[in-house]
Amino acid sequence: AQSVTQLDSQVPVFEEAPVELRCNYSSSVSVYLFWYVQYPNQGLQLLLKYLSGSTLVKGINGFEAEFNKSQTSFHLRKPSVHISDTAEYFCAVTPSDGTDKLIFGTGTRLQVFP
């Protein structure tokens, strides 16, 4: 079975500051990794995903994430945030054994202040 841990339920940050949202996972098999963003009253939108290859993945809106297999982590980073980045961010995994099931973490609320 797989599980995802997002230790930070809320992350406050000032505009133009860097941010890192942490994600750790547990799995007995290899996994694919995803970050989704949910703006208020909207559905989830894919930010980026890691399937294979380079462990540094670049996504939309200037976000990037690094897959670290030894630490079972997939932290999300942005060098300079904007007010518009205020949203809920979800890390998710799916096992690479052929199933398609997304298993989500509990989410991190990013609040950007002016």
Partner 1 sequence: EAGVAQSPRYKIIEKRQSVAFWCNPISGHATLYWYQQILGQGPKLLIQFQNNGVVDDSQLPKDRFSAERLKGVDSTLKIQPAKLEDSAVYLCASSLDALMGVRETQYFGPGTRLLVL
- The Cβ of residue 87 has, within 10 Å, a number of other Cβ atoms equal to 21
Measured CA distances, 78 to 64, 65, 66, 81 (Å): 6, 9, 12, 6
Piece in contact with partner 1 (CB under 8 A), picked from 15-23, 55-63, 74-82, 98-106: 98-106
Piece in contact with partner 1 (CB under 8 A), picked from 21-29, 68-76, 79-87, 101-109: 101-109
CA distance 31 to 109: 24
Site string for partner 1, 33-52 (x = CB under 8 A): ---x----xxxxxx--x-x-
Tell which one of 32, 72, 75, 86 touches partner 1 (CB under 8 A): 32
Tell which one of 23, 90, 110, 112 touches partner 1 (CB under 8 A): 90
* C-beta closer to partner 1: residue 56 or 60: 60
Closest separation between CB of residue 18 and partner 1, Å? Answer: 25
